[in-house]
Amino acid sequence: MLSRVIPNCSNLIAPLEEKISGMKSADKIIWSDMLREHFEFAQKSLSSRKAITLPKCSDQLWIVTDGSVTKRGIGATLYINRDGKVSLAGFFSAKLRKHQVLWLPCEIEALSIAASVKHFSPFIIQSKLQANVLTDSKPCVQGFEKLCRGEFSASPRVTSFLSVVSRYQVSVNHLSGRANIPSDFASRNAPVCTEPNCQVCCFISRTEDSVVRAVSIQDVLNDEFRLPFTTRSAWINIQSECPDLRRTHAHLKQGTRPSKKLTNIKDVKRYLNVASIAKDGLLVVRRCDPLAPPNELIIVPRNVLDGLVTALHIKLDHPSKHQLNLVLKRHFYALDMPKAAEQASDSCHTCASLKRFSTASSSSLQKTHRTWLAYLTWPTFLSATVNSYWSSEKL
């Protein structure tokens, strides 16, 4: 209850909670000078309480969010607009996990938006008006606008977290960072939570795991889990938007082939060599492996191939190039697919940070040293030879 009316309440009582964590109710607390100072400071902070107003269903809700990568925290402040007057309705802050420091700032901001909307969802559901989220991250605002148009962001995490916003019919708008003082302070001063059953920490963990890394590469290779992005009805709509696949579908349905004089439809001719129409109208490539049931590979258009490979690379927790190619070849078919998989792995920031660089061997270093030594001593030898020649001529 205090966290709703006192700004940065969780940070104030964090030292006290750390002291009593793991203790039983019968255990005595050993008070130190530092612990007494924290206790007295927390007592004095009770005077800084803020009056909050419980939202009504007719109030306009404003959620101001912010996330901090350096301080590993997210925060939000809920405001309501009632009769033209803005009132404070509550605070929210939480600490992130250590590995999330490697995320991009826009991904932290997107997680802050998703967690804040989920935290204040009881008020959002009961409100008669559309709630508004204000963030100082323009990439998140642009990602939400692309999501409303049916497009996806370059970061699957941003798209996945912002999908929570669309679930509650909330709008996302940009707010200058200078005006976002309360949420910015809450995100930079979020406490370290040591309680294993904390509802806020469990929610953040479930939110990340459910949309980022719910599937492992080994589960897919062992056929223990269905690969994401394999819904056939969605791929039928995607294939219908590709002109090359539309033409391929028409040729296969009519039993015709394009004229040999046409040289600008190389992709169509390559599709016709391997493609066939499934019962539901999807263009597939039938694959028959020895001692295995026949399989239908979904044909992926060129314009969505890079996005699909990148999404699978992140969804499967950054597999190697070989593992990614195995998964793609088992479920999809695309022109130049190995090249797209290699490009997705090479352009991944996480994979690049974990890559090991080969060190030069001692033999190669000695060979290089001898080469440079010969190169540097050759002018001296040539100068001495010329001088001796002219000296003999003079004699």
Q: What is the pLDDT of residues 296-336, one digit of tens each?
A: 999 999 999 998 998 888 888 888 888 899 889 989 999 99
Helix (H, G, I), strand (E, B) or coil at 79: strand
What is the enclosing helix (H) or strand (E) of 113?
Answer: helix 105-119
* d(C-alpha 12, C-alpha 14), whole Å: 6
> In this predicted structure, what is the pLDDT of residue 280?
92
Instruction: Output the pLDDT for position 394.
Output: 47
CATH architecture label of 217-352: Orthogonal Bundle (1.10)
Kind and range of the H or E run holding 296: strand 295-299
Q: How far apart are CA 56 and CA 58, in angstroms?
A: 5
Which CATH number describes the domain made up of 2-211? 3.30.420.10
User: Tell me, what's the pLDDT at 395?
Assistant: 45
- Residue 125 is predicted with a pLDDT of 92
Backbone phi, psi, residue 252, to 5°: -70, -35
Which residues of the chain carry a pLDDT beneath 50? 1, 212-213, 376, 378, 381-382, 386, 389-390, 393-395
Q: How far is CA 106 from the centre of its chain?
A: 9
Instruction: Give 194-219 as a DSSP string.
Output: --TT-HHHHHHHHHHHHHTSSS-HHH
DSSP structural state of residue 277: E
Q: Residue 89 carries which DSSP code?
A: E
Q: Where are the domains of the chain?
A: 2-211, 217-352
First-to-last C-alpha distance (Å) of the chain = 107
